[in-house]
Structure 1
């Protein structure tokens, strides 16, 4: 609380003393309608005051004087009437309570407020919006995306909080001091938990942190004295390296290996492998250092101009006492290497001109350099891997900065209010730019977003009035709401990904900017929705057809219908709007007149009657990705002569009409396809040539058949081979669960077996020596989900092109180990499918 008050006083003093300070929002003229005071921005109203009286129930309208209300900034004229209010009802349509990322506190200090009805339209809760509402008992946030700092701080009666899957960010101190908060479910989709977010929530007993959370800030659960268990489901979550982030008595549950375990080891906490029995284990933290070898953890020490503490043999800088000017941070203090800078800015707003951070420093904490008003430059070495929230906000004189190679996340409000910042180098390692990262950087003339960035958070570049052009690379799948709000100089924005999700707000892209993108893209849709100029660039190589209807749920596409045409060939795309096509819905293609339908390698489910009465269809290949083919899937396809089923274990609806009577079934032996053919009297052919149960070779190799066995499944190796294995982070003894591939030559002739090619819909197969052992472990979740090294019988399959595998003599059997290298950044067990095409010749 003292820290916050000091910050406000300093800002006020600066504004009074200098009229040249840039603000990041130009306020409109205040208007009055009845008892409501408001301002209008881009045709939407923001409530700034209420001049009437109120009873126990206070309703905030969705419209004032015919103007839709977008947000509630504050109640400038509230008086004693607020003491009467026990229930607040916020009308549907309102999107913001408080100003996102700021402290407008519209309901702060309403001490008798017991209930708040928040509709699903509300997406943002601003800083300290409900701070000190000591009678508030529960809160439901059905559509909220971001909860800013201190939003519910010191709501001491708050017992339950309901969040939806829309939530992405919980800011610093959001629920700090909610001492009666007994239960909170953090949903999948949440990405970051800010510093002190749940500090002093002394009634919390257990917390599960979902697999989508990539960052947990300093002191997030500090002094939660009754918290007995914290489960961390993302093995790569960045956990702020501070002993207070998790309380000392809490058992930490997670994967092995994982950052949760590393945290437990470092701070001597009890750790339990997720999914194991609940019996307690000894803290995995190694032996205690001899007495006197290291100062007590957390004790403040002073050397020269620096205050620091020592944890696990590393120095963490907490205060700088020096004269300022050109500051060079020491690489060691007390003989310990400096690894982290927690805070040096608070006492030196007018003194520090430049800072040099030495090699070896790995972490820069939340607010570490904020409000260094006269700092013009800073040197950050490439050893830095983490930079916390607001680390450089309100550094008004900072002109340029180069972020370190290896940094993956640009944290929320990192450079907010850096009004002199003209240029910033963002390394190619960055994958995420969080909300308000460059908000109010009014001198920023350009920014190059690397082609590894996948997410740009809300308000990230709001108020960057000097930006003129920007390119959103093809890697970006989502930009949040109001990303370029108030960027009045922006004339052009180009989207290189046709399916980027664009925050559905008129302020996401300013009205004066020309939007460039692909025809039929989300960029064009946004331009049409909000009346913007759109210029089409070259068509993307895989533009999805316009004659499909579909739904998107949980990041997957279901084709629900096909608008029939005269096309003889229908290609169903692997993705639409950037999401994989995984299901063909019930009767989606009923009556389709095409002769050929090509199914995507992402498809998993063909639903009931999906291709019913496709009378012209002559053949169909069902890819190995399909696990379910339901009843009547190809009923009454009277021209269908051949059905190829590439998954030997696919479920096939137990119904004579699943496939038409005349169609030949082609598949592996053994397989469910063969079982279906036998049961319903259909012709069956082994995929790749030959009949099921081929005859023994006579010696010339003409009838050679090689049989391979993976686990309990026997498959024919004359066609694509599905090498299956599971990645199970719970199994620390054998996280990559595979079985040896057993090859048997049933013939008499000696043969050479080759790997003709390797294909995977799940993974990019890369050379096994691409990374060191430590490098594999440190792969990001993004890389891990896409990269894998595969060795068969010791042969690296990354560049297999007729690669010699093994020689088999007549009647000989050989066992080939399946070896996998992988980053293991999965929150739960995952199965992967690789198609290995083998060929053979007489030796």
Structure 2
């Protein structure tokens, strides 16, 4: 009986194996059943590809027909399959219906050739790393293996010498950096609705003459269309908000621009050198226009009025003050309809003494009055919401600054080095005083902060030698107002103090407030405290414990960084925002179950779902157990931690950038099967890392993921990995052996500086490789399983290296090799 049962099991296993290993036949038929193509021996799991001419269907009396695709939708082969051509009908006009029959024209849109692309699986979707075909017209596939294709990765088509036309489907959300850069023949681009962002240099140097951007697009990256000298017209979509710096620099044929009403930012030098531009319509809602945005637009004629040049739209010709006609007058009066000043407008104008700002002005732009050394007074209208970075930096004669009631934001260094400024009242709408805002204001004596302030940089008032602080009995410095003198703790009186108490009534601890207190062992915060600033206790190496009071509702990034001796971390039980559940010695956001700060005695409770940015940065522990409830580990969560080994559970599906960056003691890592991508700098600088266990789930090793892992001698790349990206293993000076398995794309300098790597086999699967082995001093033999150079192969990194190409048959030209007992051997 047992033997019979075992025999049945064996037979079933054999049948299953045979079924799994079987090849299948794929048949392609026209609408009328005509067989167009038969593909035999198609492997299970492959995506079939039709290689014939596009099917056609004759016109009838009422309709023309255009091929639209196949039924069912093309997908992975699981058995014999037949695909039937489908067509869209196009109704004829009455005149056409009565005219003689016309010959049908074949559809000119090519069926996507999946083999011409390198796809990278990132979980729910794919992105395209490279195009390796040579077609002049390319339709980018919207799907691959039943998943959407959602991004074009950096340099996917860059420097393609033959590409003339491309269609980007609605599935694509991101067009990455340099994707079409240098495609000198690319003259036609169709972008369907769906694309949301376009990165730097995306179409730089192409032959585009016109382009229509989809309504879904919200941002255009830096230099996106730089040097598109033939680009005459562009239609912007309705959702566009940001045009980054130099986006259209040097588009000398561009004649007219109409921006949508949602545009908020026009970056620095955005239209620099657009010499044919004669008109531009700028919406009234724009918030920022960068310096030199229209420099060199010699055909553009701004509206001139009262010594100023303005650009705008049909309803308001004065939206942006873009230039000054004559910089010698001492006064300037702005048009009341002006909304924005171009960045740096009056910078270094030493003649300007007084200015009258318009009553509808929304922002004092970045560096607007930087270096105006004669400007003595400024009064901001209530309409101004923002004072930009360095707006009044170096206005050494500015004695009076009146801020309007509508002010909401003051940016870095806004009033830096205003030597004569004696006092300042911050309006109630302002919540933050950032880095360097009033630094080096040597005459500043009085500052009044509003009660609703939530963030102050301790460097905001750096070198304000005349400033009067409120002080507690220990001499610690505070700023506030007449109703609460102790509103914000700025800095301690004694940097060498071992014990410190913050005054009751204090609501805010400034950024970096205690960062120089190297001897601080105990600190007491009052219940009045609501905000603890960024890096507030950073570097308090001897601090033993901390209790977070009940009313604290915000704790800034790296607030406990380098608190190396802290052993007890507790949140008050009645705090509604944070907790330290289960005596975990960590701070957890209640609403999100995210652990935001930990110390060397921390444990991670089972309900925590995320580990936040910098949560364990610099923390000293050998290891820590990450529970299976955690799904996300954010940027730099363990960077520079003194950790020796770590295991990432299968539940984790998302790693941020630099999670273990510069963990110099890290020796061993085990990665769970939930991870698809090792993001950039994941283990960069882990100089003692020797053991890395990766599952077959990983498909993409991103930029510098193992950069400078100088103790790493060998690593097994899972067969699931498709892409090893730029500089991924650069500087791995001990690396002697690496198995590239089924990798399809190897990025620029991926193994540069691997100075002990003596030989390497590049598998036949590699379709795309860019200068990967530069400065590999002892790499003398590169064995390529391919019979010809992969796409992107360049000799400029291979001048002293010998590449051998695979040949099964004997070829003694000293350029070919084969396997002998599993070892690569040159034919001799």
TM over 0.5: no
Q: Which has the larger radius of gyration?
A: 2
Q: TM-score range, shorter-chain basis? A: 0.3 to 0.5
TM-score under structure 1 normalisation? 0.34
Q: Which has the higher relative contact order, 1 or 2, with Cα contacts under 8 A spaced 6 or more apart? A: 1
Higher strand share: 1
